Amino acid sequence: MPNRLAREASPYLRQHAHNPVDWHPWGDEALALARSTGRPILLSIGYSSCHWCHVMERESFDDPAIAELMNDGFVNIKVDREERPDVDGVYMRALQSMGGRGGWPLTVFLTPDGSPFYGGTYFPPEARHGLPSFRQVLGGVRRAWDEGPDEVQSHAHRLKEALEKSMLPPGDGEAVDPQIQRLLEDAARDLAQRMDPEYGGMGPAPKFPQPLVLDFLLNWSASGAEGAPGVLPLVSVALERMARGGIRDHLGGGFHRYSVDAVWLVPHFEKMLYDNALLLGTYREAHLVTGNPLFREVCLEIGDYLLTDLLAPEGGLMAARDADSEGEEGLFYVWTPAEIREVLGEEDARVFMRAYGVSENGNFEGRNILHLPDGLGAMESEGPAGSPRDDLDARLSRSRALLLQARARREEPFLDRKVLTGWNGLAIRNLARGGVVFERPDWVEAAARAARYLLDRHVAPGSPGTLARYSLDGEPRGTAFLEDYGAMGLACLALHAATLDPIWFQEAATLAEDIPRHFLDSGSGLLFDTPSDQGDLVVRPRDPTDNAVPSGTSLAVELLLRTGRLMEREDWVEIAERTIAAEAPGMARFPAGFGRMLMNADLAQNPPETLVLAGDSGAPAMTGLLAAAARHAHPRVTILAGEVPGVAESRDKPAVDGGPAGYVCRGFTCLAPVTEPETLAALL
C-alpha cells in the first residue's frame, strides 16, 4: 500500500511512495505530529537523479525491518532538494557545522521543533568502509533521545544558535572596505594556483566542471591586470580536457554531473539542466575569447541537447536525466566493441574505436565510456589522401549518428520532468546569448517561449503576483526563492538583448522590483534566500556562496546592479553594493565559492557600459549590429533596444539616415553612433 508520498507531485518523492516507511512530506502536518508526540524527526533529503539516493532506498528504505525501526522511533520526512532548496540548505549547513561532509542523500535528525542534532549522508545497511550501519545509527540516535533528551535539546539549541550566526557575513553584517581591485587580483591568483595545469579543474578527484570559477577567470584574463593573460591557458586546458573526456556525452551532447577521477574520464552519469545551462555560457565565452573551434562545437551540442532531450511540451526545460537505467549506473551510455561493430561494421568501427578510446577490456566495468584520449589530430592518417581531416570528421559524424540511433533503442534513464524556475532562467539566458552568437534563431525562439511560459504560468498557488518554484505537467507548485527571481530577471535581460523586444526589459525590471519586497531583511539590510513570509524553518536561510548553481544572492545582486544603474534606482544599486562589501571577507578567504559574486564585484567597480541599438529591430542591418555586439561586447556591457521606458540613457538615440545605429555608452557618456558592424566590434 502506498504511503503519503503517492499524493505528492515531486517525482523524487513519488519514487518513495511504495517504501514501507511511514514517510511524510515536509510541512505543518509532519512538524505538528513531531511536536505532539515528542518524537525526533528523521529528515531524508535527495533528488530524483541521485545515484546514492537510489542505493539507500533499495538497501534501507525498502527493507521492512529497517522501516519498522524508522516508523517506531521517528517522524520520517522526505524532501526533494530541488523542490525545497531552502530546507536542504539549512540542514546541509547544519551537517557541515557538525563536521560532516556534505552530499546526498542527506540524513539529519531533528528535535520536534526542527533543530538539528545529528546527521550524515549515505548510511549502508551493514557497517562497512568505516561507516556505521543505518540500523546502528537509528538505534543510537533513539537511545540518546530516550536516555538524555535534555542533553540532546541543549546540543540542538547551541547548533541552532550557530546556524543563525552563520547566516550573517563575518563581522555581524558590518560592511568593510572591500578594496575590490586587490581582492579580484588575489582571488584570480589563488584560483589559478589551484588549477591542474595538465588536466584542468581544481583539486584531486572527484572533479566538478565549476563553470562559475571558469567564468570569473575568463573575465579576469582580459582585464589587463598583471599576470591576467596567463590565466587563459589554464581555463582552456580545463575546457579542452572536459570536452575530450568521458564527462561529455559524445553522442547525445551535453555533460554529465562530474568526474569521479582526476582526468575527466569516468563521470557520475546524471545529466542536470543547470550544469549544461552554465557550461553553454562558459564554452561560448571561451570560444569568443580564444576562437577555439572545439569550444564552438561543444556549445552547439549542448544547446541542441537542451532542446532535444529536456524541452517540455509546454515550453519550459525539464530538470534532469538519471544516472541509472536497468538498475545499473551509466549502462545507457557505455559500449562494448561488439556492440559498436554490430552498428557500424568492421572498418568504421575500427576507426571509431581508435578515436574514442574503445578497447576490448573497457574502461568502466568491462564496457567503454566514449572519450577522445588523443584528440583527432593524431588520427588524420586514418582518412584517404586529399582531405584526411575532413574525411575523418565526416566519417566519425556518421558513426556517431548511427550509434545515437542505436542507443535510443535502449531503456532510457528516468527523466525528471519538473520545470524549475531558476534553472530555466540559467538556460534561457545562455540559449538567448548563444543563439545570437552562433546564428541559431531556433535557440532564441525556444528561450523566449520558455520564458513566456514561466512568467505566465509559474504563479505561486494562492499568491497572485509571486513566482512559483516549479511546475509539473503544467501545474505550478511551491513558492519561488531568491535564485528564481534573480535567474529569471537576468534571463529576461538576455532576451531583451537577443530579440530587441522592450517587453523583456520590463519583465526584468518587475522581477528586480520584487527582490527587495520579498527577500530584503530590513533589520540587517541583507538579502535572504526565502521570502519574508515563509516561516516553516528553524532559521531563515541565507547562503551567498555558489554551489552547483550561482547563489541566489549573486544572481539578485547582478540583476539589481544592472537594472538599478540603467533605471537610476539608487536603492537597488545600494543593496547590491552593500551586499558585495559585506561578502568581501568571504570572497577573500574562499574565492572558489564566490565565482559569480567576484564577477559582480568587477561589474560594480567599473562605470556602467551600455550599448543602445536604435532603429528598426527587424532590419537586416540591425542583425549585423546585433551579431557584432553579441560576439565582441565585454560581459559588463548591457544591450538595450532603442528607447526603453524608465531608462534615460536610451532616450534621444535616433536612427542614422533611416538605418539602424549603435551607441556605445560608458559612465553615461555616449560616443557617436556607428552603423557598421566592424566599427561597432572595434569599439566594443
Q: Is residue 416's pLDDT more than 50?
A: yes
- Residues in the chain, total: 684
Residue 6's contacts (CB-CB under 8 Å, 6 or more residues apart) are: 14, 17, 18
Average pLDDT over residues 158-184: 74
Predicted confidence at residue 367, as pLDDT, reads: 97
Question: For residue 363, what pLDDT band results from cuts at 50, 70 and 90?
Answer: very high
Question: For residue 139, what pLDDT band results from cuts at 50, 70 and 90?
Answer: very high
Q: For residue 203, give the 3-state DSSP assignment.
A: coil
Predicted confidence at residue 280, as pLDDT, reads: 98
Is the C-alpha dihedral spanning 300, 301, 307, 311 positive or negative? negative
Distance, first Cα to last Cα, the chain: 64
Could you give the percent of the chain with pLDDT greater than 90?
Answer: 81
Q: Is residue 171's pLDDT more than 60?
A: no
Report strand pairing: 23-25 vs 75-80: parallel
Count CB-CB contacts under 10 A for residue 187.
Answer: 24
Predicted confidence at residue 174, as pLDDT, reads: 42
Q: How far apart are CA 124 and CA 140, in angstroms?
A: 15
Question: For residue 518, what pLDDT band results from cuts at 50, 70 and 90?
Answer: very high
Average pLDDT over residues 552-561: 98
Q: Is residue 99's pLDDT more than 70?
A: yes
Q: Residue with C-alpha cell 557618456?
A: 669
User: Is the Cβ–Cβ distance between 495 and 447 less than 8 Å?
Assistant: yes
DSSP characters over 527-569: B-SS-TT---SSS-----S-SSS--HHHHHHHHHHHHHHHTT-
Q: Is residue 391's pLDDT more than 90?
A: no
CA angle centred on 626, ends 233 and 211, rounded to 5°: 30
Average pLDDT over residues 467-488: 95
User: Is the Cβ–Cβ distance between 595 and 523 less than 8 Å?
Assistant: no
Q: Give the model confidence (pLDDT) of 186-214 as tens digits.
A: 999 999 999 999 999 998 899 999 999 99
Question: For residue 173, what pLDDT band results from cuts at 50, 70 and 90?
Answer: very low
Report strand pairing: 468-472 vs 419-420: antiparallel
User: Is the Cβ–Cβ distance between 573 and 565 less than 8 Å?
Assistant: yes
Residue in 281, 286, 191 with CA at minimum distance from that of residue 241: 286
Q: How far apart are CA 158 and CA 83, in angstroms?
A: 28
Q: How far apart are CA 282 and CA 271, in angstroms?
A: 17
CA angle centred on 653, ends 651 and 655, rounded to 5°: 145
Q: Give the model confidence (pLDDT) of 296-320 as tens digits.
A: 999 999 999 999 999 999 899 999 9
Predicted confidence at residue 175, as pLDDT, reads: 43
Q: The whole model's pTM is what?
A: 0.91
Q: Residue with C-alpha cell 549502508?
A: 124
Predicted confidence at residue 388, as pLDDT, reads: 65
User: Is the Cβ–Cβ distance between 258 and 247 less than 8 Å?
Assistant: yes
Question: For residue 385, what pLDDT band results from cuts at 50, 70 and 90?
Answer: very low
Question: For residue 387, what pLDDT band results from cuts at 50, 70 and 90?
Answer: very low
Question: For residue 129, what pLDDT band results from cuts at 50, 70 and 90?
Answer: confident
Predicted confidence at residue 58, as pLDDT, reads: 94
Q: Give the model confidence (pLDDT) of 1-39 as tens digits.
A: 789 999 999 999 999 999 999 999 999 999 999 999 999
Report strand pairing: 324-325 vs 320-321: unpaired
Q: Give the model confidence (pLDDT) of 316-358 as tens digits.
A: 999 999 999 998 999 999 999 999 999 999 999 999 999 999 9
DSSP class of 72: H
Q: How far apart are CA 675 and CA 616, in angstroms?
A: 13
Q: How far apart are CA 551 and CA 57, in angstroms?
A: 30
Neighbouring-strand partners of residue 612: 640, 663
User: Is the Cβ–Cβ distance between 440 and 480 less than 8 Å?
Assistant: no
User: Is the Cβ–Cβ distance between 396 and 415 less than 8 Å?
Assistant: no
SS (H, E, C) 375-419: CCHHHHHHCCCCCHHHHHHHHHHHHHHHHHHHHCCCCCCCEECCE
Q: Is residue 177's pLDDT more than 80?
A: no
Question: For residue 379, what pLDDT band results from cuts at 50, 70 and 90?
Answer: low
Give the three cell numbers for residue 437: 552568437
Q: Give the model confidence (pLDDT) of 233-268 as tens digits.
A: 999 999 999 999 999 999 999 999 999 999 999 999
Give the three cell numbers for residue 441: 534563431
Q: What is the mean pLDDT of the chain?
A: 93
Question: For residue 377, what pLDDT band results from cuts at 50, 70 and 90?
Answer: low
Q: How far apart are CA 660 and CA 619, in angstroms?
A: 8
Q: Give the model confidence (pLDDT) of 617-668 as tens digits.
A: 888 899 999 999 999 988 889 999 988 999 988 898 899 988 999 999 988 7
Count CB-CB contacts under 10 A for residue 534.
Answer: 15
Residue in 62, 66, 208 with CA at minimum distance from that of residue 549: 208
SS (H, E, C) 174-190: CCCCCCHHHHHHHHHHH
